[in-house]
Each structure stands twice: as structure tokens, then as C-alpha cells.
Amino acid sequence: MMLGAMARSYPQLVRGRPRDEEADVALVDATLALLAEQGYSGLRMEAVAARAGVAKATLYRRWPDKVSLTIAALSRIPELPAVDTGSLSGDLAALRDAVVRLFKTTRLASVLPALAAERVRRTSASAKIDAFIRTRYQPWIAAIERAIARGELPRTSADPVLIADLLAGVMMQRVFFTGGRVDDKAWKTVVDIVVKGLRAAASSPGG
Amino acid sequence: MMLGAMARSYPQLVRGRPRDEEADVALVDATLALLAEQGYSGLRMEAVAARAGVAKATLYRRWPDKVSLTIAALSRIPELPAVDTGSLSGDLAALRDAVVRLFKTTRLASVLPALAAERVRRTSASAKIDAFIRTRYQPWIAAIERAIARGELPRTSADPVLIADLLAGVMMQRVFFTGGRVDDKAWKTVVDIVVKGLRAAASSPGG
Amino acid sequence: MMLGAMARSYPQLVRGRPRDEEADVALVDATLALLAEQGYSGLRMEAVAARAGVAKATLYRRWPDKVSLTIAALSRIPELPAVDTGSLSGDLAALRDAVVRLFKTTRLASVLPALAAERVRRTSASAKIDAFIRTRYQPWIAAIERAIARGELPRTSADPVLIADLLAGVMMQRVFFTGGRVDDKAWKTVVDIVVKGLRAAASSPGG
Amino acid sequence: MMLGAMARSYPQLVRGRPRDEEADVALVDATLALLAEQGYSGLRMEAVAARAGVAKATLYRRWPDKVSLTIAALSRIPELPAVDTGSLSGDLAALRDAVVRLFKTTRLASVLPALAAERVRRTSASAKIDAFIRTRYQPWIAAIERAIARGELPRTSADPVLIADLLAGVMMQRVFFTGGRVDDKAWKTVVDIVVKGLRAAASSPGG
DNA sequence: GTCTAACCGAGACGGTACGTCCTGTCTTAGT
DNA sequence: ACTAAGACAGGACGTACCGTCTCGGTTAGAC
């Protein structure tokens, strides 16, 4: 059969015993579980390997440090809903709900600021953190861009990323720093302010 | 001599050798220096004591853990300018400048998210972190309240804390997570959106 | 009392918490026990620390490597009998008995060749091994010197160390390499050959 | 061609790909080189395979442990000269020279005591070590037996093995333990003492 | 000409020990 | 009751080898 012949014509490029893919899964699962239990600063490489039933070397062969491992584990969490609900307020409500639910049902809320701290330190892992955050942040930006395309937000408006930062920022500020709640009422207020502000700014630019 | 007599008239309440107050200063200075150099996760209690030229026990006698020590060190950084520049945009520009300058000239930007991570973990230190952040965040809230008092922002407007979170949040989001710059132009845009949004929301409440 | 005053006038020269002398004893005892059980190549630093009920750092603080630790442990074994039995044959019988008994009742026989192997490698530990062997070998040389002093061996005889090497050598050769027994009869024969050989060589030098 | 025909007439008894005989040579050579460089305790199976350009499994398929491998490597060293020089002193001088030269030009001197240590531990490898030493020790015993046959040593003399142990023993003692030199003068003295001692003991038995 | 069996290099695997580092506590002598 | 100094138990770090295994691929005799 064609596929068989094709597969045979692309032989294994790396030699030697292939890596055990079950180990990957077990390690990532163990990491995620331990992150949820102990938070990032309580994550121990030895504990990860032990819980995964894997030798330490097998762990280090895959991820050289805690940051890489953590990002691999977080990547298993399903992305934020990228679905188009048809309206900006609907999209933003969905995004808020997803974030709030994740942080309410797990202790993963401590992981993101921990990674942010590492990112700021400008270590070798900074780039990986950057890339991860960029990927996961995409749904927020996409929601804004859809709103502009729909005409919900003025076309002459500010940078979509800045608008996303304004909306996501208030949530992060409350969740991570001040501890304020981001309930439905507060979120509606925020969205209202930002949408009306953008429209007003578009019709009378400048201060 | 007067001072001697005064000292003698207020005798030490606790017996034994009094604590060396120079040690406090040396420890806090060492902590701040090491935080700036290595970030929070690179801060070592041993290194702090060594750089301060102080025994480890002396350090632990004053601060029981890394969080307390870090907060004590951060408390040496002058507060954000609480001065009233006379206008909201002036106040906010001053606040932004102070934060951006601090994070540009030192590597202290990694400390706040690190503390946030500890805070979320709900350790015994959470309360201290909460209190510290609340104190340091006050100037932002005060600026909003002054603007409302001045009439720059509508009196029927949203919770001043929420407005402050919106403004500070976009900055934190960019500095800590997405890495976007918070330059003068972006800041002006943000302030413009928020102010106009608040006014519009006040005149036509609801969505 | 004089001694008390004297002690007080020589204050502790090293500062800080003094080393726990019980740990020294526990470590050396554990080492000796493990050497007897597992031999030199089976000796594990972790096992020593664990059996002594001591942290690994405490072990490494005292002895930087396995060789040093082993020598410290062997030094706890009482020296060979240095007593003067009054005759060369008596002295040599006593020395033989002591060595044979030690190697029959323990498995320490593997330790000396292991150290010899390290000695030959000319590592940093070679000097320590040299010094240990020299000390422990002294009774053999002393026995020869006493015999010369007594007139049992000719005064014009060969180097006492060479004679000792001849006698001890045949024992080591059998115990460590060829596996031959060094029983009373063989030992008497050896001593007889060496003594008579020395006397004959003294009376008619050269080949 | 003859050889081909001969090979064909003795077909392989086992099926499958035959072992690569070059690998044997490369492994043994690599082992010997590494033993000379690092000594027995510094010998690493991985290093042997790597230097031989061979997979680890190929090494383990041939020799199950370090002792077997080491013995195989040592077996490549030419045996001690078994030639009959016509006199005992000549034979012994030749034997001494061969041993001293080997240990001066290589660091193989550490290997024999290391094997001795393993032998004493009575592991599964003890028998192999015993056999190797016995084979290699044969020339010493043969030299003594030739001397007895020649009449150089008394026919009623002690066990030839014991005499050989006496002579070889003093050398091993010095080389491995006390570090004394075995130069020409010392060796002549030793041989003189032993020969004269044997003759004297034969003419007047007992102490 | 397959088929089967044992080999081959490469390198991942579970496991164990290494020697170092740091934490938070404790024990000295001395202030 | 404090101080500096530094030892202590405990525990995690990241690395190095061990001996085994699992791949794809090779090389022979047997069928």
C-alpha cells in the first residue's frame, strides 16, 4: 500500500532506542498534578520523576529545567475558548469565565506569576516563557480583532494588543496582585468602560 | 550629658544585649542589592547574611523567611509619588514614570510577580504580601479619588479601585507578562480611553 | 586550680559551634563495620552517613574522600603487638598471628590491597596511604632491629627494612595474591630460611 | 584457497551473524590503554566501549564484568620470560627485570592489587582472578623447580611454591605496599639470603 | 531467494551514588 | 539577650555510570 511504502522510504532519522512516549505523558501529568498541589516554587524535579515512575535522567533528557517542564505541563491545559460567540461582550465573558474557573478549581494561579518572575530575570528560559504566553494570549487579541472586523469597535481604534492588555490586565492585576474579585458585574463595567472609551476616543481623537 | 541622662531615664525594658540596629540596615541593603542582581528566586539567605557581614542567626532573628525579608527590603524603596500634580493625566504620568524607571534601572521587576506567586499559594506570608501591596498601591487609588473630587472623572463613576486596577493592570500586564512597552504614547492612549469611557458610561449607564 | 586557669588562658582557637565528636566516632565505626561487611569497593559514602545517623555534609566535612575515611577507620584497629617477646621467632609468631587472626575474623583483607591500588595510582591520597602503611608496618621493622640488637641476627646484616619486607612479603603474597595459607609450619620454615640465610650471608658475603 | 576450504569444512555451529573479531581486539586494546592511564578503579565500561568505537552491548556480550574484561586485557601482556638462563640468579634477575620494567613503563601496577582486593571479597570473579594469577605466577615456580633440578637449591628443600612466594613476595611488598625500590643490589641481597638460607636449613633442619 | 538467528551501533531506560548547595536550627565563646 | 562563626540534619540538586533494553539494520547459514 502507498502509505507503507512511503513510511519505509522515510526511515528513522535518529538512531538508537527511541524515547518512551509514555514517559513524556507520565512526566507531564505528574508535573501538572504537583503544580496544582504545591505550586511552582514547591515543584521538585525528584518528585516529578518519582510520581511519573521514571528515572531522573529520563526527566532531564527531555526538559533541562523547571521552567521548560512547567511550560510543557501547562501546554496540556486546553487553550482558552477561541470560539466566536458573535459579540465582543460574549467573547470576553467566555474568556473571563475560563480563566476564573481554572484558577478557582486548581492552584495553578501561582504558576503564571512565577513564570513571569523568571521571564523578567532574563534567563535562558525567558524566550520559552515568552512564546508560551504569546500563544496562550492569542484568543484575547483575536476577540478584539473580531470585534473591530464586526464594527463593534471603531476601525480607527488603538492597537488591538493594547486593548487586549487593558482588558486582560485588569483581571491579572486583581487575581495576582490586589486580590480583588473579577465577578460578572465588575467585568461588565470594565468592558463597558473600554468599549465606550474606544468609541469616544475614535470620534474625538487626542486628550 | 543630656542624652545620656535621658537614656538612663528610659531604661531598656528587655534585659541582655540590645539588637544591633546597624545589622538591620546592612541586611536590608544586602537583600535589596541581591534582589536587584539575582531576582527573588536567586535570593539566598546565606548570601544575604554573608554580604551584610552578619551571622545567619541574626538574620533569622529579625525576619523568619524570605518573604518577610524581601518585603522589608522593598519597603526601603521610596514610595510612588503621592504628590498632586493638579490633573489626572499628570498624576498618572508621574506614577507610570516612577514604575517604569524603577524597572528599567534595576531588576526588581522579577520580585513583584514572585511575591504574587507566593501570595496565591496562600502561605503564612500571604497576609504580609497583601498588606505590602495594599500600601504601595494606595497612590494609584488616591489619584483616581482626587480626579473624582476635582470633577475630572464623573462622580457617579465606577469603584475607584476598579479604575485604578484598569490603569495599573495594563501596565503590569505588559511589564510582567506580554513584555509590551509602556511608553508615553501608549500610556496617553490608555488614559484617554479610560477617562472617556468613564464619562460615556456615566452619561448613558448600562451596555 | 592550675589546670583550670591554664585552660582558660588558652581559649578556643576556632570559632563557631565545635564539631560533634560523637559524629566522628559514629562515622568511623560505621565505616569499619561497612568495610568488614562489603569490602572497600562496596563502601558507599551515603551508607556510612546513614548508618552513623549523620548528614552527608557532616561526613564530607571531616573526610573528603573514601581513602581518607578508610584510613581513619582502619586507624581504630589496634596496632600490631609491639611487645618484645624476647626472641625473634616469638616476635614474628606474634605478628603473624595478629595479621592472620584479623583477616580470618573480618573481611578487612580486601581493604589493604584496595588502598595499595589507590596508592600506586598516585592520587592526592597516596601520601596518606603511605603514611598509614608506614606507621602500621613499624612493628615488623622494630622486631628485626631488636633481633639485631640481641645478636640473633648478624650486625653486618642487610637493611632491617629489607628483611622485614622479606618476611612480611611472603605473608602478603600468600594472603592477597596466591591464596596460599600461612600456617605455623610454613611460617617456621620461612623464618628459619631467612635467619640462616642472613647468618650465612654475613659470614661469607657476596654470591 | 586452502584456508577458505578449511573454513568451509568447519561450518559455524551457531547460526546468525558471527561476532566481529575486530571488536574483541579493539575492546581489549582500549581496556589496556585505559587501565594504564586511569588504573583499575578509574576504568569505566562506557569509556572502554567508546574508545573501542563499539556499542556497550557488544562489550557486555563478551565480558560480563570489569574483572573479566580486565583479565582479558592483562592476558595480552606477554608472559614473564620462562626461558632458562642456565642459573637461578639469572632466571630471577630476568623475572625481576620484567616485572620492574612493566610497572615502570605503565601504570598497570595498580591493577594487580585492585584485582587482589576483588579476589579477597570472594565474589563470583574470584575464581577467574585466581586462575589468572596462577598462570602468570608459573614462571616463578618453574625457575625454582629448575634450580632444584640443577642442584642449585637443595633437593630436600622447602616447597618450591613457598620459595617462590618468598622471592616474589618481597618484590610485591615493596612495589605495592611499602614503596621500597627493588633495584639490582637489593635483589642480589635477597636472592643471596634465600639461597644460603635454604642450603643451611637443608644441612641442619629445624630452628 | 527468502527465513531465521545472532550480531551490530546507537542511545534510552530504571536505578544508585555521587559531591555540592541551601534551609532553618543549634551550640560554642564572647559582648 | 544578643553577637559571629560555623556545625548540624535534612533534602534537593544535576551528573555520571551501571547493566539492560529496544530500535533499525547487517551478515551469515539453513531452508
The three cell numbers locating residue C95: 605478628
Single-letter amino acid, residue C183? D
Nearest to D112 by CA among D69, D170, D70: D70
What are the distances in angstroms from CA A12 to CA A8, A22, A62, B11, C101? Answer: 9, 19, 19, 83, 63
pLDDT at A7 over 90: no
Pull the grid cell for residue D79. 608472559
Answer for the pair C62, C24: CB distance below 8 angstroms, yes or no. yes
Could you identify the residue written with the cell 524515547? A19
CA C3 – CA C7 distance, rounded (Å): 6
Q: For every residue of A14-81, which 3-state class applies, written as one string?
A: CCCCCCCHHHHHHHHHHHHHHHHHHCCCCCCHHHHHHHHCCCHHHHHHHCCCHHHHHHHHHCCCCCCC
| Cα–Cα distance for residue pair C42/D121, rounded to 1 Å | 10
pLDDT at B68: 96
pLDDT for the residue numbered D124: 80
Q: How many CA atoms lie within 13 A of A155 on its CB side?
A: 3
- CA–CA separation, A48 and A27 (whole Å): 6
Looking at residue C9, its pLDDT comes to 44
B2 has a pLDDT exceeding 70 = no
Q: Is the CB atom of residue C106 positioned under 7 angstroms from any atom of strand F?
A: no
Where does the pLDDT of residue B6 fall: very low under 50, low under 70, confident under 90, or very high at 90 and above? very low
**A2 band by pLDDT with thresholds 50, 70 and 90:** very low
Q: Are C144 and C153 in contact (CB under 8 A)?
A: yes
Q: Minimum mean pLDDT among A90-94, B16-20, B177-181: which range?
A: B16-20
End-to-end CA distance of chain D: 70
Rounded Cα–Cα distance for residues A176 and A108 (Å): 11
Q: Judge contact between B53 and B26, C-beta under 8 A.
A: yes
Q: Is the CB of D16 under 7 A from strand F?
A: yes
pLDDT class for B11, splitting at 50, 70, 90?
Answer: low
Question: What is the grid cell recorded at B40?
Answer: 527573588
Closest nucleotide to D43: CA versus each C1': F17
Note the pLDDT of residue D179. Answer: 92
> Does residue C194 register a pLDDT over 90?
yes
Asked if D121 and D183 count as a contact pair (C-beta separation under 8 A), the reply is no
Give the type of residue at A120: V
Predicted pLDDT at C12? 59
Residue with cell 545620656: B4
Chain E nucleotides covered by protein, CB below 7 Å: 4-31
Instruction: State percent of chain B over pLDDT 90.
Output: 71
Chain A neighbors of B120, CB-CB under 8 A: 39, 107, 109-110, 113, 176
pLDDT at A121: 83
Residue D59 grid coordinates: 562489550
Counting as low any pLDDT under 50, the low residues of chain D are: 1-9
Average pLDDT of the residues in A187-199: 96
What are the b/e assignments for A122-143, b being 16+ CB within 10 Å? ebebbebbeebbeebbebbbbb
Which of these, A161, A155, A68, A172, lies nearest to A118 by C-alpha position?
Answer: A68
Q: Which of D88, D157, D176 to mutate to test the interface with C (most CBs of C within 10 A)?
A: D176
**B89-93 LR contacts (CB < 8 Å, sep 24+):** B89/A207, B89/B188, B89/B191, B91/B143, B91/B146, B91/B147, B92/B143, B92/B167, B92/B187, B92/B191, B93/B184, B93/B187
pLDDT value at position A13?
67
**One-letter identity of residue D149:** A
- Supply the pTM of this predicted model: 0.89
Min Cα distance D164 → chain C (Å) is 9
Residues 6+ apart with CB under 8 A from C193: D158, D166, D194, D197, D198, D201
Size of interface C-D (CB pairs under 8 A): 185
Residue B9: pLDDT band with limits 50, 70, 90: very low
Spatial contact of B151 and B87, defined as CB atoms under 8 Å apart: no
Check residue D107 and give its pLDDT: 80
Can you tell me the mean pLDDT for C28-41? 95
Q: What is the 3-state secondary structure (H, E, C) of chain C?
A: CHHHHHHHHCCCCCCCCCCCHHHHHHHHHHHHHHHHHHCCCCCCHHHHHHHHCCCHHHHHHHCCCHHHHHHHHHCCCCCCCCCCCCCHHHHHHHHHHHHHHHHHHCCHHHHHHHHHHHHHCCCCCHHHHHHHHHHHHHHHHHHHHHHHHHCCCCCCCCCHHHHHHHHHHHHHHHHHHHCCCCCHHHHHHHHHHHHHHHHHHHHCCCC
Q: Please report the pLDDT score of residue D8 as a whole number.
A: 41
Report how far residue C177's alpha carbon sits from residue D60's, in angstroms, rounded to the nearest whole number.
27
Q: What confidence tier does C4 reach under pLDDT thresholds 50, 70, 90? A: very low
**Of how many residues is chain D composed?**
207
What's residue D90's pLDDT? 96
Cβ-defined contact of B161 to A171 (cutoff 8 Å): no
Give D117 or B108, the one with higher predicted confidence: D117
Q: Which residue is nearest to nucleotide E19 (CA to C1')?
A: C60
Confidence of residue A105 (pLDDT cuts 50, 70, 90): confident
Q: What would the mean pLDDT of C35-56 be, rounded to a whole number?
A: 96
pLDDT of A166 reads: 98
- Alpha carbons B121 and A36: distance in angstroms, whole number: 10
Helix (H) or strand (E) holding D136: helix D126-150
pLDDT for the residue numbered D79: 82
The answer on pLDDT for C105 being more than 90 is no
Closest by CA position to B43, among listed B7, B76, B9, B69? B69
Q: What is the mean pLDDT of residues A14-25?
A: 94
> Three cell numbers at B125?
506570608
Closest by CA to D28, choosing from D57, D71, D61, D65, is D71
Query: What integer pLDDT is reported at residue D122 of this predicted model?
Result: 76
Q: Measured in angstroms, what separates residue B64's CA from nucleotide E25's C1'?
A: 12
Other CB atoms within 10 A of residue B126 CB: 16
Q: What grid cell was written down for B84?
A: 498632586
d(CA A135, CA A82) in angstroms, rounded, equals 12
Instruction: Determine the average pLDDT of the residues in C169-182.
Output: 95
Angle (CA) D81-D192-D205 rounded to 5° is: 110
> What was the pLDDT predicted at D189?
96
CB distance B111 to B35 below 8 Å: yes
- With an 8 Å Cβ cutoff, are C166 and D193 in contact? yes
Whether A201 and B189 lie within 8 Å, measured CB to CB = yes
In this structure, what C-alpha cell is assigned to residue A199? 468609541
Residues with Cβ within 8 Å of A129's Cβ and at least 6 positions away in sequence, in order, are: A67, A71, A115, A116, A118, A119
Residues in CB range of B15: below 8 A, 6 or more apart: none
Residue of B107, B106, B133, B105 whose CA lies nearest to B118: B133
Shortest Cα distance from B150 to chain A (angstroms)? 17
pLDDT in tens, A30-64: 999 999 999 999 999 999 999 999 999 999 999 99
B18 touches strand F (CB under 7 A): yes
Chain C residues touching residue D170 (CB < 8 angstroms): 162, 165-166, 169-170
Please say if the pLDDT value at position C101 is more than 60.
yes
The dihedral of CA D150, D151, D156, D162: what is its sign?
A: negative
> Which nucleotides of chain F are near protein (any atom < 7 Å from a CB)?
1-30
Residues 49-78 (C) near nucleic chain E, CB < 7 A: 56-57, 60, 64-66
Burial class (CB in 10 A: 0-12, 13-18, 19+), C46: exposed
Helix axes B21-38, B45-52, angle to 10 degrees: 130
Residue B108 has pLDDT above 90, yes or no: no
Q: What number of other Cβ atoms are within 10 A of residue D143's Cβ?
A: 26
DSSP state of A103: H
Examine the pLDDT at B100 and tell me if it is beyond 70: yes
pLDDT tens per residue across span A58-100 = 999 999 999 999 999 999 998 877 778 999 999 999 999 999 9
C121 touches strand E (CB under 7 A): no
Does position C82 have pLDDT exceeding 50, yes or no? yes
| CB-count exposure of residue A85 (10 Å: 0-12, 13-18, 19+) | middle
Contact D51, D33 (CB under 8 A): yes
Whole-number pLDDT of residue C5: 42
Minimal Cα–Cα distance from C134 to chain D, Å? Answer: 7
Which long-range CB contacts under 8 A does C146-150 form with residues at least 24 apart?
C146/C84, C146/C88, C146/C91, C147/C88, C147/C91, C150/C87, C150/C88
At A27, list the grid cell: 512526566
Nearest-Å Rg of the Cα atoms of chain B is 21
